[in-house]
Amino acid sequence: MSNRAPGHDNDDTTAREDRDMQDTTTIGVIGTGLMGAPMARRLAEAGYAVRAWNRSNDKARALTAHGIDIADSPRDAAGADIVVVMLSSGPVCDDILLGPEGVIAHMAPHATLVVMSSIPVDTAQRQAQAAEARGIGYLDAPVSGGERGAIDGTLAIMVGGDPATFERHRPLFAPLGRAVHVGPAGSGQLAKLANQSIVANTIATVAEALLLAERGGADPRKVREALMGGFADSTILQVHGERMLDEDFRPGGPAKWQWKDTQTAQALADDLALDLPVSRLVDGLFGDLVANGDGDLDHSALIRELRRRNGERPS
């Protein structure tokens, strides 16, 4: 009689299928910046054959030390079984992916395009239609977790697209983080906008709370410590609250990209005739932060904008 627990054979079969997929599947990675580079490394370390392209060639070249081939162009990376895109915006993605010289036009039928950039919902839907017209699978799979999550493989991955396509590609997402299918094409981007609204609004609230404690005469570090574990606790309070107190604004998630996402969320809310007053206010705060020259700082630097508004000169 076997001593294996129920389901053990199924677990072994799934693991074996995952290894088989890694041994035979080629991946093209387009965009190897702050997030794309560690994601490409993790895919290579998981056993995939990875070929990467980046507009700034030096960033891509650094990946050769991890066994990653460097593509000369996006089209050169498009010949893979799966093409993963991690570019900065919807217009940049469209420029690379669409049209007669775009990546989609040069992908093989039955390949899959996985766009992990944060782009507008309707942009993802148009890309999905263009891919479907050529018999190519499409998943929009934006992520949350920043550079540290990409390095550690702990990203939250929100996936839109055909459910069967998602299930086939679970092994692809496993080295990168936790993937959840949330609906049809474009739904991943919708979930990311919800995520970014929570992140942006919470950063603003934590910054205001720390300023209130400081101006009122309490030790803001001790106030943060006292709040941790209670209802006001959050990853933002723990991680970005500490960044604010230390004035450590080296970018894990640049403020200018946070603002891009809050603008996208506001545009969608307007299209849906939704009045979201808190999100609108926070979008304006991030816009002012960028206008005042802090766009390349981490998004936790929003506290600098609040200091300006209260007559303080940020250090």
User: Using an 8 Å Cβ cutoff, are 60 and 52 in contact?
Assistant: yes
Q: How far apart are CA 312 and CA 191, in angstroms?
A: 36
Three-state DSSP at 184 gives coil
CA 178 to chain CA centroid, nearest Å: 12
The token pair at 300 is 């936790």
Cα torsion for 198, 201, 207, 212, to the nearest 10°?
A: -120
Contact indicator for 62, 40 with CB cutoff of 8 Å: no
- CA quadruple 172, 299, 197, 187: dihedral, nearest 10: -20
Identify the sign of the CA torsion 96, 158, 131, 263: negative
- Structural contact between residues 16 and 34, judged by C-beta atoms closer than 8 angstroms: no
**Nearest Cα residue to 108 out of 133, 88, 136:** 136
What's the alpha-carbon Rg for the chain, to the nearest Å? Answer: 21
CA 114 from centroid of its chain's CA atoms: 12
**How many angstroms separate the Cα of 242 from the Cα of each of 87, 89, 238, 259, 286?**
29, 29, 6, 21, 19
Question: Catalytic residue positions?
Answer: 192
Q: CA-CA distance, 296 to 299, in Å (whole number)?
A: 9
